[in-house]
């Protein structure tokens, strides 16, 4: 997985800034864009005030039509936004871009008969996979593998299982979203479904739990203080990717540092 960041700070959802209760989403909703355009730049662009503007533009390319989602309204003046997009960069490489903080309620699946996965108490992390013409098996395999790895990362970060993952279609069928067919229609074209997707996430989670040479929180805290896991987001991603509980490690780091003052 390649995880980068470009927050959609001009989007109405980001500005609204409705927090998920206790910063703990209840699961994941997987979307696909419904348009034949697999480029991330169609949806993800920085604005000039953001410190990583040049870096992101070089990576993704410039959206000359300005119809990206870093605008107050998107897609025919609708208010919508998700936490991340998965697609290709300017060189055709598949990447994941986080576009909202994970503790903000996103506007991704509207509402159903029982409520909405957009809002508390059922708020979930939601992301879009950029569709192509739905006929390219190579792209399908690669982009869904990236999505599976992203879900593994999120499951470890927020400590829930693969059973808490659904598609937009499944959100609708269970009463927590509006009537959409994504991303089941795409999976079906290649003989897959969301049960397969969840099984892949579960398999990777189990494999990491069974094979990883576990270190104690105390060991990890000391290694973190010694700089062995990097700093900031790099450290967080490294610990989570290695199968560790970042929050517990950071809590112990803070305890050690404050006790020495």
Predicted confidence (pLDDT) per residue in 11-57, tens digit: 999 999 999 999 999 999 999 999 999 999 999 999 999 999 999 99
Q: How many CB atoms lie within 10 A of CB 139?
A: 19
pLDDT at 261: 57
pLDDT at 208: 72
How far apart are the C-alpha atoms of 44 and 55, rounded to whole Å? 13
How far apart are the C-alpha atoms of 62 and 53, rounded to whole Å? 11
pLDDT tens digits, 183-237: 999 999 999 999 999 999 999 998 876 655 678 888 888 989 999 898 888 888 8
How far apart are the C-alpha atoms of 95 and 143, rounded to whole Å? 8
How far apart are the C-alpha atoms of 15 and 72, rounded to whole Å? 8
What's the mean pLDDT when you consider all of the chain?
A: 93
Contact status, residue 167 vs residue 184, Cβ threshold 8 Å: yes
Higher-pLDDT residue of 246 and 197 is: 197
- CA-based nearest residue to 50, from 84, 85, 9: 9
Placement of tokens 């107050």 in the chain: 72
How far apart are the C-alpha atoms of 161 and 15, rounded to whole Å? 30
């Amino acid at each position: 997985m390649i995880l980068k960041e470009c927050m959609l700070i001009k989007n109405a959802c980001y500005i609204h800034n409705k927090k998920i209760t206790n910063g703990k989403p209840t699961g994941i909703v997987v979307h696909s864009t419904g348009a034949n355009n697999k480029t991330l730049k169609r949806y993800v662009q920085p604005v000039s005030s953001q410190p990583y503007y040049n870096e992101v533009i070089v990576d993704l390319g410039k959206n000359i039509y300005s119809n990206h989602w870093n605008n107050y309204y998107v897609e025919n003046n609708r208010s919508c936004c998700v936490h991340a997009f998965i697609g290709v960069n300017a060189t055709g490489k598949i990447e994941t871009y986080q576009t909202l903080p994970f503790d903000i309620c996103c506007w991704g699946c509207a509402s159903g008969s029982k409520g909405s996965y957009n809002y508390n108490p059922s708020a979930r992390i939601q992301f879009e996979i950029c569709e192509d013409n739905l006929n390219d098996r190579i792209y399908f395999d690669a982009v869904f593998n990236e999505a599976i790895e992203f879900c593994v990362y999120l499951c470890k970060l927020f400590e829930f299982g693969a059973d808490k993952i659904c598609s937009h279609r499944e959100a609708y069928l269970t009463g927590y979203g509006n009537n959409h067919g994504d991303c089941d229609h795409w999976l079906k074209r290649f003989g897959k479904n969301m049960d397969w997707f969840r099984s892949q996430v579960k398999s990777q989670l189990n494999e990491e739990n069974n094979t990883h040479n576990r270190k104690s929180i105390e060991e990890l805290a000391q290694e973190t203080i010694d700089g062995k896991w990097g700093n900031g987001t790099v450290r967080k991603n490294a610990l989570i990717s290695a199968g560790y509980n970042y929050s517990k490690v950071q809590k112990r780091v803070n305890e050690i540092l404050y006790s020495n003052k």
